[in-house]
Structure 1
């Protein structure tokens, strides 16, 4: 079987598995990625994601990750939402969950399908393969650009002229030398919608992201209290943020997710704050079983919901917020203090402070009481 025939059959197989775009590049096609990654890490823009620095060498060069690799097959799977994610931001009594996280964990879905096709390719060709879906030190976006799937836009995400921005990426590394596709060029032009809409100014310059200011990072990767300056801008976003994707003009070509397990669950489209504040650890695990949200844990999740509660202006949730002043987790208690201060009058807040502060031992929570008390 020729390399071209092997490639063509693999592409057909991957599209039959539900992948909406497939491209091939050489394993040595992104030499510039190493220096860009180093500059990102040296500037501390990765925040507390220490694993990025720990895997810098492998992440920056596919051939360090697997020296035998000759080709990288990049795939995209569409997850376009049915609704406008920006509309949900106006419903302050409810929360907003990033479109990609409203059903099953995409890692499992994409990797499962990718492994099936890669396995069949290996059997037919005798080639060795390795499959990666966002769980190994692979720079999928530069590889996706090199493979012609899209280009890294000013928001640093991959954009496609055919798919817009709503798609997941996966990779098959192989030691078989497959014909490479043409690299995609940048089509952002003068547009800066994604930069201007960011509520936390997380883009110090086009094509440059400061993760420490990104709501996706703050709600998912960041442990401990949310920095005060970002609490109001978070609004009702409790898991991720879609703003910079949602305003991209290229999304006029995007389609709604075709994979059923990537379509939004009704109960996760825009759930009520009061409902989520009532979740204990058992209920949280049950509700988000199989969901990417489960990995942040109940405490971090409730911290995020409490920030949304404080931004809601809805005094009817104050009782549920106040109940979290007795939460076992100090970060949750601190978020409850902030939210209560935003929702209630001085007398109710002072009474709560008197009742709970004298029992408090965590310095961060005491600091919240003092700051909110003026």
Structure 2
């Protein structure tokens, strides 16, 4: 015999909290009617950068019923990953790399998906219903759905903000054929505050509630596979994987709590990593060093690209030796940023000495371009 909707919801919420979810809310499949239009405008503006999969899945992403026509209720679940210390503290240590709070432990996809499967199985058995679970890897618009379900509101930085946990929430979703009572949507509580917009080092917000991924440090250091545009490199500072600036300054974090999930608590050894050590990672040592963390999925070459940008921004002449060593790296992505880094740290004479022979034998157009820029800038400076 099926349990009625209210009783089923109560039983599910109780079970979900026992498993480790901090927030559970429910939305109807038709609760985000404006999402298709907003998504279309965002994509047409090119704000998705090189994430072409967002274009390919736009139709399914815009309407949950297109993804799964049988869905009757959508359950949004949040897991708090609130930090135990200042998220921005590592930014002042220029000889170290700063890693986003969310990546300083186990990959949240693995942690949350396991919990979702467990609680979804409970629901399926209890309601004799079908279920599907999603954690940030399928065409599901979790943030608009979370707002519609009342789990939080989308701040001006586009991230979900909870009045209970601030903006430190991982989101997961369960689609189900069970009919469950929906929750009231959350209204926006940003007011006139624009701290998250003003702190962005690369001006990634063209307007409140709009993010241009092409300028976002999290996108550039994690998702972007190619060379990072030169005009954005200095703004990256020593952020080598993600960025927490807009999250850290949200006033609603005054209600934030440290995560109770052990697997998501930040590891001290990932808080501030010496750039000199990171620059020496080859592929096997990179994989071993970051096994089980989200960092591993960027791959060694992209990660070292980020490390070299941090080295170039460090102002530490002693780190130039690490960049010099990587001028001969097999990866053009790495060699190009090694050139850029020495251009920031070394005098003109040293750059000419290093670059003259390497430029002659360099076959990659992007690396050659970096050499040309560095040498010409230094020559102009020297002449002046």
Common fold, TM-score beyond 0.5? yes
Match of 2:358 among 356, 359, 366: 356
List gaps (5 residues or longer) in structure 1.
none
Q: What's the TM-score, normalizing by structure 1? A: 0.99
Aligned match of 2:83 = 81
Q: Distance in 2 between matches of 1:352 and 1:91?
A: 28
Match of 1:45 among 47, 50, 53: 47
Aligned match of 2:332 = 330
Aligned match of 2:102 = 100
Q: Distance in 1 between matches of 2:285 and 2:162?
A: 39
Aligned match of 2:126 = 124
Q: Aligned-pair distance for 1:373?
A: 1.0
Answering whether residue 14 of structure 2 is matched by residue 16 of structure 1, we say: no
Q: Distance in 2 between matches of 1:357 and 1:278?
A: 23
Aligned match of 2:92 = 90
Match of 1:31, SS state, is coil
Aligned match of 1:213 = 215
Q: Distance in 2 between matches of 1:348 and 1:268?
A: 34
Answering whether residue 195 of structure 2 is matched by residue 193 of structure 1, we say: yes
Q: Which moved more, 1:85-94 or 1:132-141?
A: 85-94
Q: Aligned-pair distance for 1:349?
A: 1.2
Q: Aligned-pair distance for 1:87?
A: 2.0
Which structure 1 residue ranges, 4+ long, deviate > 2 Å from structure 2?
none
Q: Distance in 2 between matches of 1:272 and 1:354?
A: 30
Aligned match of 2:299 = 297
Match of 1:271, SS state, is strand
Answering whether residue 154 of structure 2 is matched by residue 152 of structure 1, we say: yes
List gaps (5 residues or longer) in structure 2.
377-384
Q: Distance in 1 between matches of 2:226 and 2:69?
A: 39
Answering whether residue 289 of structure 2 is matched by residue 287 of structure 1, we say: yes
1:111-160 deviation line (CA, Å, top 9, x unaligned): 10011011011112101110000010000000000110100010000001
Match of 2:361, SS state, is coil
Q: What's the TM-score, normalizing by structure 2? A: 0.96
1:150-199 deviation line (CA, Å, top 9, x unaligned): 00010000001111001100001001110000000000000000000011
Aligned match of 1:166 = 168
Answering whether residue 291 of structure 2 is matched by residue 268 of structure 1, we say: no
- The two structures, once aligned, show a CA RMSD in angstroms of 0.7
Q: Distance in 2 between matches of 1:43 and 1:233?
A: 23
Q: Aligned-pair distance for 1:317?
A: 1.3
Aligned match of 2:382 = none
